[in-house]
Structure 1
Amino acid sequence: MPVLGVIPARLQSARLPEKLLLRETGRSLLEHTYRAASHATSLDELVVATDSPEIAAEVKRFGGVVEMTGEHPSGTDRLAEVARRRNEFDVLVNVQGDEPEIDPAAIDLLAAAVRDTDAEMATLCSPMTDLDAFRDPANVKVVCDPTGRALYFSRSPIPHPRDAAEHPGGVPENARLHIGAYSYRRDFLIRLSELPPSRLERVEKLEQLRALEAGCTLRVCEVAAHACGVDTRADYNAFVARFHARETRPAP
């Protein structure tokens, strides 16, 4: 099954305007992400999907491949437009453009979870141990069956430990943080994009619940940790500091 990696990219960002074009390291944030994702061995091709001429010009400047799209309310819809015209690919992996330190191995996990199984969609998770993070509605949690198939996603702390004494620290051993990276079978992605928001999706404001309510087999791949995304100026400054620290570190 041929695999296409897609970085949906829009110019504007509410918390950090035009963040993908920030280049205080000498490279744009988008170029960092593209370079990191290009090391994933599972991808037969990697493209940036955008409706922005500025983003397209930047991709061409650093030698990447760009797919121009219409305006879309979400990255999933943008991905689906690419899927409709790139029918030579059976699997598509959604790579977030604001994750310059993404681990290529995580992309490979996502690709394999759909390419090599009967799953229609896959995503990532990592273990949770911090009680405040577990309770924080900004952190989406996922519960799975024993085979790794997603049962539910929620902003609430799930699974809820009814007997706190059995769970030192207040966080169940099987608590998992959902990481918003996805892979899809092409046909399912197109079908998903054509469905209206589902009942549970409207309550939790979580698009992946639409897939579950549509009967999707959604595989969840566990990773030890996840690279930090860039949402704010503080996030970007921290990334720049880590980048310069790596660049000045003596060779072994």
Structure 2
Amino acid sequence: MNAIGIIPSRFASTRLPGKPLTDLGGKTMIQRVVEQARLANLSRVVVATDDERILNHVRSFGGEAVLTSPDHPSGTDRVFDAYCQLDTPADCIINIQGDEPFIQAAQINALITLFEADPRTQLATLVKPVVTEEELFSPHMPKVVVDTRGEALYFSRHPLPYQRQHPQDQWLAHHRYLRHIGLYAYRPDILAELTRLPPSTLEVAESLEQLRWLENGYHILTAETELATLGIDTPEDVARALTQLGIR
């Protein structure tokens, strides 16, 4: 199985400008992501960026990076742009978020395994059981409903299903909810098709790109993880990351 990891990384960020170059205990965030990704069963790990500062920085610590268009509307489009530049055939492409410095090799490998088990797999992503009410009701932590085969039925920022017969503070006691973890894997031909799809009504309503794929009939297989992640979006997230690293 030839799996390539591509890390989309933009310099611009409304809440944390220059986010990929943020220092986390002597290493930048993007360096930590690259180092974590290299521990997985990937043949290559490539940063896809729209900024030469990130490009040069990644190359300075021995990483591989390519410069992509600044006009891409999503990380998916940036990943495909990078893949086309690599000129290396792959069985699957893993889209690794550039603001997840604590991503684990086991999480990446879980998605690769889904493609190894069935080459017809189109798309794959990670889910994690919801364990707190904060997770359940936070619109910043999308939830996912899956069928008996582990295929995603729907993603939402609202807890689904709605339990009509129970008060909301009892929902976790009566149903097993799953949270979506934004790590994606694609078959290359499917990734090419996704970049040609226009935004869908469900995607616009929830602001979740993966709903565009479901609405157009694609199948998203899920792998479950118990490992926690910590995405970096704000200065407060940086402080939490430093604490997790044992620096604060």
1:121-136 matched pairs, under 5 angstroms? 121-136=123-138
Once the two structures are superposed, residues 57-115 of structure 1 have per-residue CA deviations (whole angstroms, 9 ceiling, x without a partner) of 11011100111211212111101112334351121001111111111100011122234
User: What is the CA RMSD across the aligned residues, in angstroms?
Assistant: 1.8
- Given that 2:25 and 2:247 are in contact with CA atoms closer than 8 Å, whether structure 1 keeps it comes out as no
TM-score where L is the length of structure 1: 0.91
Distance in 2, Cα, partners of 1:109 & 1:15: 31
Q: Which residue of 2 aligns with 1:181?
A: 183
Q: Which residue of 2 aligns with 1:88?
A: 89
Q: Secondary structure at the match of 2:80?
A: helix
Partner of 1:44: 43
CA contact (8 A) 2:133 2:169 kept: no
Select which of 226, 229, 233 maps to 1:227.
Answer: 229
CA contact (8 A) 2:10 2:50 kept: yes
Q: Is the 8 A contact 1:25 1:244 kept in 2?
A: no
Match of 1:239 in 2: 241
Which amino acid counterpart does residue 39 of structure 2 have in structure 1? H
> How far did residue 36 of structure 1 move?
0.8
Whichever residue aligns with residue 107 of structure 2, its letter is: A
Indicate the percent of aligned positions where both proteins have the same amino acid.
38
Q: Distance in 1 between matches of 2:178 and 2:24?
A: 34
Aligned to 1:64: 63
Query: Which deviates the most, 85-94 or 7-16?
Result: 85-94
Q: Is 187-196 or 85-94 further displaced after alignment?
A: 85-94
In 2, the alpha carbon distance for the partners of 1:132 and 1:45 equals 37
Measure how far apart 1:174 and its partner are.
Answer: 2.1
Unaligned runs of 5+ in 1: 247-252
Is this contact kept in 1: 2:20–2:30, CA < 8 A?
yes
Alpha-carbon separation, structure 2, partners of 1:6 and 1:94: 5
Match of 1:151, SS state, is strand
Which residue of structure 2 lines up, in the alignment, with residue 33 of structure 1?
Answer: 33
Tell me, in whole angstroms, the C-alpha distance in 1 between the residues paired with 2:209 and 2:24. 33
TM-score, normalisation: structure 2: 0.92
1:179, 1:226 within 8 Å by CA — same for their partners in 2? Answer: no
Deviations 1:27-65 (A, max 9, x none): 11111111111000x211110011210001110111001
Match of 1:210 among 199, 209, 212: 212
Divergent runs of 4+, >4 A: none
Consecutive unaligned residues of structure 2, counting only runs of 5 or more, are none
Aligned length: 244
Kept after mapping to 2: 8 A contact 1:154/1:204: yes
State the distance in 1 between where 2:29 and 2:202 align: 34
* Residue 121 of structure 1: how far off its partner (Å): 0.5
Contact 2:203 2:212 in 1 (8 A): yes
How many Å separate the matches in 1 of 2:54 and 2:102?
Answer: 19
Residues 181-221 of structure 1 deviation map (CA, whole Å, 9 limit, x = unaligned) = 10000000110011101121121111001111121111011
